[in-house]
Amino acid sequence: MSDLTALSGEYAENAEFVRTLNSALLALRKRQLAGKRKASGAVNFRSLGDLIAELARCIDQKEGVGEGCEAVEIPRDVLDRLRERHRSDLGWYAKDLQAIGELLRQEKSLSDKQLRQLDEICEAADAAATAVFRRLWRR
């Protein structure tokens, strides 16, 4: 009944998204530093690829009511922050993410630019999680 339950749920959703993405990004960067072509077994790159492809699909939704994303594992606040940041190049950005998703599904290497794009998603998710956490913390 209190707003705190909604906030704690929102925090959990955002924090889990950050954790998943950040662990994957850490493994990808480590792989890149080691000069390896294949991914380590620590992260399920196929499901990460699916997640990024789904994110691309959601980002690509045309603006307007009723055409929102139904993917329940992508926090709404993360989508909003990314859409806001890429307001001027949303279509291109979605295509870039789609390509990243496809490479991850095939366990192929990502370029520096693509890793930075994953970083950006991680940053948006962290900003969303942190904003909720601060509201919970300062209740």
Partner 1 sequence: MPSLIYSLLYDLRQRCRYLLEEMERLRPNLLGEAVPYYEWLRGEIEQRLHEIELVITDPDLAHPALAKQYHLAYKGLAQRLSILEENSFQALRTFDAGSQFLTLVVRQICRESNFPGESPLCSTVSTSYYWAIPWARLIFAPPTEAAHLLALPDLYHELAHFIIEQHRSQVVGPIIREINEHYVKFKTECRLNGWSDASLAQLDEAFERWVSKWYEEFAADVIATYWVGPAFGWTNIRVCANISGALFSGNFEHPADNARADAIERTLRELGHTGEADRLREGWNQFIETSGQVPSTDYEQSYPSGLLDAVVRVTVAACRSLGLVPFLDSNPHATSVPGILNFAWEEFRRSPSEYCAFEREAFKKLTGLLRAKD
CA-to-CA dists, residue 12 to 58, 74, 118, 138, angstroms: 21, 12, 20, 17
Q: Which stretch binds partner 1 (CB under 8 A): 10-18, 52-60, 85-93, 94-102?
A: 10-18
Interface with partner 1, residue 95, by CB under 8 A: no
Q: Which of 68, 89, 106, 108 binds partner 1 (CB under 8 A)?
A: 68
63, with CB counted inside 10 A (0-12, 13-18, 19+), is exposed
Residues 58 and 74: beta-carbon distance below 8 Å: yes
Q: Which stretch binds partner 1 (CB under 8 A): 51-59, 85-93, 103-111, 125-133?
A: 125-133
CB 26, min distance to partner 1, A: 4
How far is residue 139's CA from residue 44's CA, in Å, rounded to a whole number? Answer: 37
Interface with partner 1, residue 116, by CB under 8 A: no
User: Which pair of structure tokens corresponds to residue 21?
Assistant: 């993405």
Q: Which of residues 11-40 bind partner 1 (CB under 8 A)?
A: 12-13, 15, 18-19, 22-23, 25-26, 29-30, 33
User: Which pair of structure tokens corresponds to residue 84?
Assistant: 């806001």
CB 94, min distance to partner 1, A: 18
